[in-house]
């Protein structure tokens, strides 16, 4: 189990499950979060499930970091899946059409399966 003030992560089978430990993902947090999630994914052949249950607000820079994360992991032959998203946050992803670009599922079990 790895923990910082931004991301907590641990392996579930062959998938790294990471939980964002911030309510707000703004320009200030996004670079640290991107680096920590990228490092976490590298520990398990780039199979990553990201828990967004604590996130209530995500700024455009944060959305950009998630897009970059997705592109980086796909480029390495892996997959990132997001889960436990609030209804409000899901609305942001739908408005920006990121729900069509990123893999989003309801819960951890579905995310672990989808990340393989």
Q: Which domain holds residue 55?
A: 2-115
90 three-class SS: helix
Number of domains in the chain: 1
> For residue 2, what pLDDT band results from cuts at 50, 70 and 90?
low
> Tens digits of per-residue pLDDT, 26-36?
999 999 999 99
Model-level pTM? 0.95
CATH number at residue 36: 3.30.750.24
The residue-averaged pLDDT of 79-89 equals: 97
> Tens digits of per-residue pLDDT, 43-76?
999 999 999 999 999 999 999 999 999 999 999 9
**Which of 96, 89, 101, 108 has the alpha carbon at shortest distance from 18?**
108
> Tens digits of per-residue pLDDT, 7-23?
999 999 999 999 999 99
Give the number of other Cβ atoms within 10 Å of residue 18's Cβ: 23
Give the number of other Cβ atoms within 10 Å of residue 69's Cβ: 22
> For residue 5, what pLDDT band results from cuts at 50, 70 and 90?
confident
Q: CA triplet 71, 74, 76: central angle to 5 degrees?
A: 115
């Amino acid at each position: 189990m790895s923990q910082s003030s931004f991301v907590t992560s641990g392996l579930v089978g062959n998938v790294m499950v990471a939980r964002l430990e911030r309510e707000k993902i703004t320009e200030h947090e996004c670079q640290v979060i991107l680096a920590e999630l990228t490092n976490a994914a590298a520990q398990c052949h780039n199979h990553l499930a990201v828990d967004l249950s604590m996130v209530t607000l995500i700024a455009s820079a944060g959305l950009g970091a998630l897009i970059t994360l997705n592109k980086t992991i796909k480029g390495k032959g892996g997959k990132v899946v997001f889960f436990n998203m609030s209804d409000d946050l899901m609305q942001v992803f739908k408005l920006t059409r990121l729900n069509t670009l990123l893999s989003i599922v309801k819960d951890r079990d579905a995310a672990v399966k989808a990340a393989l």
